[in-house]
Structure 1
């Protein structure tokens, strides 16, 4: 690991990361959970250098939500870490999670670096991912994104309606190269996060009854991770509280 004291940014990230990990541990203890949820650090609008710093601090799961940025960044990070020590990196690589809305025509690009897509919300995207996954060695983990807003119809934030989950699940299971991994959601702004995540937990239980392997529940961000942990989230997507405020150029 690099000497954090010689790099102020690494020291800042280490401090932020430690604070977030402490929050997660306290939330898990309050919820009576022995196993901590996994932390995915969302690195949108932050440079490859920060991702490398996070890797050196022990982070192994990072998230992105724009393919144009993510594909270039993932390549830079991989090449630079492999140049430093290819054997060590290949034995313990970063895992990239795509967490934003995804156009079907970007599926092939995303499969070039991501091992999980958290935002599968329509059958056309399942078909695009299936086509792109042909010949891929490892199955792509697919999470169905659920729109938790009551009666929402605009689709502006992405996500399938709860009643669409069974059909999407069957479509993923029936597609070679894809694996149904679980559910993902963003808490609506219009209601307390705890209430929304409680609904998500019930939807996940219904999915697990039919598909026991779909055990990932991706929920919770910087402002509501405690509520997500209380409702059983297995993966948290945290950006701001680890990396700081995002800017379009940094």
Structure 2
């Protein structure tokens, strides 16, 4: 079977087999559909995929409005505080919470809409100056601030390791941080959004619960 549908089904089986070998639950496979149209998403939906990732609001909003409402949308890009209203209540999970102003805006919108928004704290695990995300040493204090904000629930952590480094130690570090924060009562769960097309197998070995895979499913982006 060719095309995105065939690649998705093949990858899904590979992930299921590896999870069984590792003796752990299958991670959620988030098909990162940015730059691809509703037709491509609909094809994967027919194959059974329900989790899709978007990182641009101008694509996310019309796709969410036009596609089946049982899709679980994951917003995986940087989000401006003033744009929180366009994501809250629509996204199943926001993967990129990394600053107080955004947390406050998300909390305000969630309360206004009467919803509870699940989110992940984005961690700048490689401490790269050009990337967003919280530094590891700032995680605990930031997570404590969230305890006083209603309407948002931090479920775990997300990271994007440095492109030119072995991702394994970074994934391992994220897992350790997540476990400690959960034990301290600062996270509601131990979700780990880590691993993409090039390193999802390593991420699984280090305990990933969410894989964000784009090109390995949809092909190269134009």
Q: Same fold (TM over 0.5)?
A: yes
Query: TM-score, normalized by length of structure 2?
Result: 0.93
User: Post-superposition shift, 1:29?
Assistant: 3.6
Spell out, residue by residue over 1:86-125, the C-alpha distance to the aligned partner (whole angstroms, 9 max, x if none): xxx5xxx001110011111110011152121000111111
CA positional deviation for 1:163: 1.2
Partner of 1:237 in structure 2?
A: 212
* Correspondence 1:39 to 2:42: no
Q: Secondary structure at the match of 1:133?
A: helix
Q: 1:20 aligns with which of 4, 11, 28?
A: 11
State whether residues 40 and 61 of structure 1, in contact with CA within 8 Å, keep that contact through their aligned partners in structure 2. yes
User: Which consecutive residues of structure 1, in runs of 5 or more, have no partner in the other structure?
Assistant: 6-10, 82-88
Instruction: Deviation per CA, 1:170-229: give whole Å up to 9, x if none.
Output: 222321111111100012123201111111111111111113622211100000001110
Equivalent runs, 1:69-88 vs 2, <5 Å: 69-77=59-67, 81=68
Q: 1:187 aligns with which of 139, 161, 170?
A: 161
Between 1:135-144 and 1:199-208, the stretch displaced more is 135-144
Residue 163 of structure 1 pairs with residue 140 of structure 2: no
In 1, the alpha carbon distance for the partners of 2:218 and 2:147 equals 36
Which residue number corresponds to residue 100 of structure 2? 123
**Separation in 2 of the partners of 1:190 and 1:243?**
23
Question: Normalising by the residue count of structure 1, what TM-score does the alignment of the two structures yield?
Answer: 0.83
Decide whether the 8 Å contact of 1:207 with 1:214 is kept in 2.
Answer: no
Alpha-carbon distance in 2 for matches of 1:74, 1:131: 22
- Paired position in structure 2 for 1:56: 46
**Corresponding residue for 2:197?**
222
Give the number of equivalent residue pairs: 221
Q: Secondary structure of the equivalent of 1:44? A: coil
CA RMSD of aligned residues (A): 1.7
Unaligned segments of structure 2, at least 5 residues: none
